[in-house]
Structures are given as structure tokens and as C-alpha cells.
């Protein structure tokens, strides 16, 4: 693991690192924020998965999570959204290929050799940060847009690995959206039964979430027709899923929206991750 940068932030350290990924078959870059509490002992960690076109850097710089994480004593992990490099398959469209991994393990070429983002997040990067940073094996997960989709589906599929869950404007029902059908068919093939494990609405009906969850959605989001938030709200009601689903009047899909409610989400995770600590 190579250190690319480390900067003091709210008395903690915001670092950016690179390593050779076995899962993705290329170098991967990620960021970790360690709060000041990590100087004296291990701390729980909140994973933030980013959306289409993003790298590790977008949320690290724009989401404003570090101040809240320092207040509560949580580490933050910001993974990249896809493998990258000259040898990695790509597409001219912004919503497929590099920057658009959708947190799945691709089974179709040309994507399969590198686009193994599900394994990367849930196994390889998880093991790497636990081994190299002052982080407890106690994890929350959140994300925005494509990353909200990733957070919800990964947590519901792995309830033993995550202790808290939230999302900002997630792609809620990708099997029924152009932000989903295009990518899932490209990465996984045309058999839609293989898509089910990557749709939070279908997983809510099948598995649900072991605890409560927090969803924030901007009421003036320009992508509401693609995100389909009503389908997730209805699935939560249908399955009597404990949680809070908030439509935030006037907010769009930007990081101004994420930044506005970042404190609420970090506090939500802290309440659950710091229990019995």
C-alpha cells in the first residue's frame, strides 16, 4: 500500500492511498479519514460509496463528513467507484464502465476481468483497512445515488458484516430504471434473475434489513424518475421495515444536498456503531 497524501483535518488525518488490487486486477485508489480518537485506540468505521462519474475524491472533498466523524469518533472510508487504467474496459457513456461500477461482480466480457467491485468492497478493501488502520471490525455503510444503491444492496446481502445503514438519494429500483437496466445487462447479462441481488426494492421484499435505516431524498432532485424513491418507500411500508424516509423539500441531487444532511447521517451511524463501546 502506497501513501499518496495525508492531511490534518479536524485534528484527525485525511489520507489517500493506492494498492494493487487482486479483485480488480489493477491499481486502486481509496481514502481513509481517521478521527483524533484513533490516536489512542481503534474506532468504528463508516463506509461512503460514491455515485456515477465519481472517484474517491468527490465525497472526501465535498460531502463534509470529516467534521462530524471527528466529533463522534468514527473513521471514514471512501473507495473508488470502479477499476481504472489503460487496460481496463471503458465506454464513451458516463454511466457505464470506468466511474460506473455499480458495485457488482461483472460476469460478462469485456467487464469481467476488472469489474469486481462487490468483492473489492466487501472483502479485499475491508481486509486491507482493518489490517492497516486503527479501525474496529464494526462497520456502517452509506452512499449517494449509485453509491446509495451499493450501500443498501451490500448491507442487506451481508447483515452480519454491517451494523448501521443509510443512503442519500439511492438508485432504489435499478431493475426497473434506465440507471440500472443498461448497466446490469452489460455487466451481468440479459437473464434478469441475476439482477435481483442488486436491487434494494427486491431485496427489501426478500430479506429486509436487520435494523432501522435512514434514507434522505431531495424533493427537487432532477433524477427522480431514474432513482424511483417511491418504490423503496413503498417496499419499506409493505414490509414494515423500521426506518426513516425523508423527502427534503427543495434539494437537488448535488453534493450541496449531501453536505446539508451529512451530520444527520454520521450521527445516525454513531448512535448504532458506538453502542456498548
Residue 221 annotated as catalytic: yes
User: What sign does the CA torsion over 133, 139, 144, 145 have?
Assistant: positive
**232 phi/psi in degrees, rounded to 5:** -75, -40
What is the 3-class SS of 195-245, one letter each residue? HHHHCHHHHHHHCCCCCCEEEEEECCCCCHHHHCHHHHHHHHHHCCCCEEE
Residue 253 annotated as catalytic: yes
Closest CA to 50 of 158, 151, 187: 151
Q: Which residues of 169-196 are buried (b: 16+ CB within 10 A; e: fewer)?
A: bbbbbbeebebbebbbebbbeeeeeebe
Residues 3 and 18: their CA atoms lie apart, in Å, by: 7
**Cell 451530520 maps to which residue?**
263
Cell of 116: 469486481
**161 phi/psi in degrees, rounded to 5:** -100, -15
Q: Of 144, 221, 265, 269, which residue is the catalytic one? A: 221
Q: Of 72, 253, 265, 269, which residue is the catalytic one? A: 253
Q: Of 9, 82, 145, 200, which residue is the catalytic one? A: 145
In contact, 257 and 251? CB cutoff 8 Å: yes
In contact, 19 and 1? CB cutoff 8 Å: yes
Reduced to 3 states, what is the DSSP secondary structure of residue 168? strand
Residues with a known catalytic role:
145, 221, 253
Amino acid at each position: 500500500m502506497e501513501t499518496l497524501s495525508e492531511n490534518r483535518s479536524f485534528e484527525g488525518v485525511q489520507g489517500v492511498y493506492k494498492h494493487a488490487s487482486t479483485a480488480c486486477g489493477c491499481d486502486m485508489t481509496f481514502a481513509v479519514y481517521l478521527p483524533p480518537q484513533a490516536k489512542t485506540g481503534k474506532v468504528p468505521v463508516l463506509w461512503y460509496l460514491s455515485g456515477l462519474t465519481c472517484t474517491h475524491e468527490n465525497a472526501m472533498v465535498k460531502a463534509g463528513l470529516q467534521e462530524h466523524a471527528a466529533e463522534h469518533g468514527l473513521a471514514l472510508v471512501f473507495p473508488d467507484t470502479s477499476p481504472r487504467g489503460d487496460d481496463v474496459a471503458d465506454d464513451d457513456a458516463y454511466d457505464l464502465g470506468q466511474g460506473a461500477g455499480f458495485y457488482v461482480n461483472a460476469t460478462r466480457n469485456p467487464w469481467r476481468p476488472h469489474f469486481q467491485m462487490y468483492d473489492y468492497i466487501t472483502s479485499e478493501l475491508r481486509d486491507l483497512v482493518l489490517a492497516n488502520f486503527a479501525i474496529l471490525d464494526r462497520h456502517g455503510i452509506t452512499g449517494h445515488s449509485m453509491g446509495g444503491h451499493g450501500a443498501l444492496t451490500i448491507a442487506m446481502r451481508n447483515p452480519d458484516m454491517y451494523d448501521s445503514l443509510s443512503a442519500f438519494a439511492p438508485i432504489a429500483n435499478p431493475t426497473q430504471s434506465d440507471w440500472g437496466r443498461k448497466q446490469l445487462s452489460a455487466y451481468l447479462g440479459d437473464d434478469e434473475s441475476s439482477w435481483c441481488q442488486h436491487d434494494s426494492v427486491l431485496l427489501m421484499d426478500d430479506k429486509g434489513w436487520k435494523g432501522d435505516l435512514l434514507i434522505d431524498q431531495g424533493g427537487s432532485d432532477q433524477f427522480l424518475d431514474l432513482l424511483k424513491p417511491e418504490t423503496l418507500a413503498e417496499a419499506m411500508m409493505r414490509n414494515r421495515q423500521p426506518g426513516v424516509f425523508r423527502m427534503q423539500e427543495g434539494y437537488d441531487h448535488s453534493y450541496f444536498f449531501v453536505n446539508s444532511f451529512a451530520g444527520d447521517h454520521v450521527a445516525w451511524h454513531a448512535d448504532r456503531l458506538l453502542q456498548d463501546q
